[in-house]
């Protein structure tokens, strides 16, 4: 029996055709017609005009922070419970991360502790943090309306880390288009992939132009190389964009399939004591369910999440513990932290389940049945 993986690339069929086209036209260099086309497809899908294709989601967050005006010595608030790539670019810029706890319904940055952090930083340093990195974890939208209201009250920019949330909506609007800047990732395990890649959703044409400029070595328009700014080699390659164009054609199917998989889990765990599936807290939230995740109730389930992970692995099923919060990472121990222990408790009790759109209904049901068996509900 083959291992059921957490999330693997799912090709649509036209990837090879488009890559061949890119190779034959010798556009195997960065930039080329597929990059433009990929950006257009993203702009149509997201219903927003200024999307720049980049080499990674991490690069998108880095440039988003630069565009928000973050420089050395600034403080930047970041959701603690996330992948390190949300937070690392703050340090690339010589700025200081300030970590904030999640709230237990969305698992994303708590508006309450966000405001507390802003006010306390002002009190302690005399300045407001320069930006906020809000993450839509596992595809679940953060409470962007409250977050944006707090941010604008203090004149702070919000960078949405929508790396896991392409296709998710909050109050009917696409995640990634709700903050000042929105970052997407097309890494191998994300909802669609370009093998490696990302994009930055920009608020206007000027920002779009500036991000393209910064991501191509900040090369001025002169016959020789002339630089007035530090640049980056962050543009997406034409070959990767060719894969991205094929993936955009199947994106709506991929989002629909992840939601179906979540629904299968929902039905399977409906009567399982001790297991709760992470679901949309209310009608305002429309997660793409990039990964379906569960919490185990310690008082009922005998196994810890890691023991359950091993139990499943022995039966050919790959799962993963939740993101370990940044304030629990040695590399960020010195960063100020605001909150209680919501993210710590999520990390201690949660597990990510196989959720790739490539999985069959039968495979998903096998995962659910094996979990039910492991917790004594089978």
How many residues lie near ligand PLP (CB under 6 A)?
14
Residue pair 215/52 in contact (Cβ under 8 Å)? The answer is yes
Cβ 137 to ligand PLP shortest distance, Å? 7
Q: Which is nearer to ligand PLP, 86 or 292 (CB)?
A: 86
Token pair of 224 as six digits: 């020789």
Site string for ligand PLP, 117-136 (x = CB under 6 A): ------------------x-
Site string for ligand PLP, 40-59 (x = CB under 6 A): ----------------xxx-
- What is the rounded distance in angstroms from the CA atom of residue 186 to the CA atom of residue 5? 18
Cβ 100 to ligand PLP shortest distance, Å? 15
198 touches ligand PLP (CB under 6 A) = yes
Cβ 55 to ligand PLP shortest distance, Å? 8
332 touches ligand PLP (CB under 6 A) = no
Question: Which residues does residue 317 pair with via DSSP β-bridges, in sequence order?
Answer: 4
Question: Which residues does residue 169 pair with via DSSP β-bridges, in sequence order?
Answer: 174, 286
Query: Phi and psi dihedrals of 280, rounded to 5?
Result: -60, 125
Q: Which is nearer to ligand PLP, 82 or 349 (CB)?
A: 82
Cβ 168 to ligand PLP shortest distance, Å? 12
Closest alpha carbon to 350 in 284, 301, 317: 301
Token pair of 217 as six digits: 């070595």
From candidates 50, 102, 185, 287, binder to ligand PLP by CB under 6 A: 185
Cβ 83 to ligand PLP shortest distance, Å? 4
Residues contacting 305, CB < 8 A, separation 6+: 296, 321, 348, 349, 350, 351
Residues contacting 11, CB < 8 A, separation 6+: 246, 247
Cβ 86 to ligand PLP shortest distance, Å? 5
From candidates 39, 101, 161, 344, binder to ligand PLP by CB under 6 A: 161
Closest alpha carbon to 338 in 106, 115, 70, 75: 115
Q: Which is nearer to ligand PLP, 189 or 276 (CB)?
A: 189
Chain-centroid distance of CA 141 in Å reads 10
82 touches ligand PLP (CB under 6 A) = yes
Task: Report the relative pairing of strands 350-353 and 292-296 from DSSP bridges.
Answer: antiparallel
Per-residue burial over 65-84, b if 16 or more Cβ lie within 10 Å, else e, is bbbbebeeebbbbbbbbbbe
Q: Which is nearer to ligand PLP, 82 or 292 (CB)?
A: 82
Length of the chain: 378
164 touches ligand PLP (CB under 6 A) = yes
Residue pair 247/186 in contact (Cβ under 8 Å)? The answer is yes
Cβ 263 to ligand PLP shortest distance, Å? 23
From candidates 7, 50, 80, 86, binder to ligand PLP by CB under 6 A: 86
Cβ 176 to ligand PLP shortest distance, Å? 12
Closest alpha carbon to 97 in 339, 343, 333: 333
- What is the rounded distance in angstroms from the CA atom of residue 263 to the CA atom of residue 270? 10
Q: Which is nearer to ligand PLP, 265 or 290 (CB)?
A: 290
Chain positions contacting ligand PLP, by CB under 6 A: 56-58, 82-83, 85-86, 135, 161, 163-164, 185, 187, 198
């Amino acid at each position: 029996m083959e291992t059921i993986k957490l999330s693997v690339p799912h090709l649509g069929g036209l990837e090879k055709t488009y890559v061949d086209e890119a190779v034959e036209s010798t556009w195997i260099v960065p930039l080329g017609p597929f990059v433009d086309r990929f950006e257009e497809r993203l702009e149509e899908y997201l219903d927003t005009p200024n999307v720049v294709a980049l080499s990674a989601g991490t690069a998108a967050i880095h440039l988003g922070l630069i565009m928000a005006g973050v420089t050395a010595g600034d403080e930047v608030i970041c959701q603690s419970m996330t992948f390190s790539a949300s937070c690392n670019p703050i340090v690339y810029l010589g700025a200081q991360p300030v970590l904030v706890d999640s709230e237990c319904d969305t698992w994303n940055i708590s508006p309450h502790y966000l405001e507390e952090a802003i006010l306390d930083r002002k009190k302690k340093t005399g300045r407001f943090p320069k930006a906020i990195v809000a993450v839509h974890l596992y595809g679940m939208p953060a409470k962007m309306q409250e977050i944006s209201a707090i941010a604008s009250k203090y004149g702070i920019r919000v960078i949405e880390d929508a790396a896991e949330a392409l296709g998710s909506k909050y109050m009917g609007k696409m995640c990634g288009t709700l903050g000042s800047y929105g970052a997407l990732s097309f890494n191998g395990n994300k909802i669609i992939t370009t093998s490696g890649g990302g994009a930055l959703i920009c608020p206007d044409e000027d920002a779009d132009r500036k991000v393209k400029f910064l991501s191509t070595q900040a090369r001025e328009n002169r016959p020789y190389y002339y630089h007035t700014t530090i640049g980056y080699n962050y543009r997406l390659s034409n070959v990767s964009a060719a894969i991205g164009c094929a993936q955009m054609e199947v994106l709506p199917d991929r989002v629909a399939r992840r939601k179906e998989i979540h629904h299968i889990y929902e039905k399977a765990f409906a009567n399982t004591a001790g297991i709760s599936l992470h679901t949309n807290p209310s009608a305002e939230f429309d997660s793409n369910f990039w990964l379906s995740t569960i919490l185990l109730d310690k008082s009922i389930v005998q196994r810890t999440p890691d023991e359950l992970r091993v139990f499943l692995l022995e039966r050919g099923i790959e799962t993963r513990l939740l993101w370990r919060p940044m304030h629990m990472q040695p590399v960020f121990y010195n960063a100020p932290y605001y909150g209680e222990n919501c993210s710590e408790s999520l990390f201690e009790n949660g597990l990510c389940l196989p959720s790739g759109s490539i999985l069959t209904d039968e495979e998903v049901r096998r995962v659910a049945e094996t979990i039910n068996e492991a917790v004594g509900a089978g």
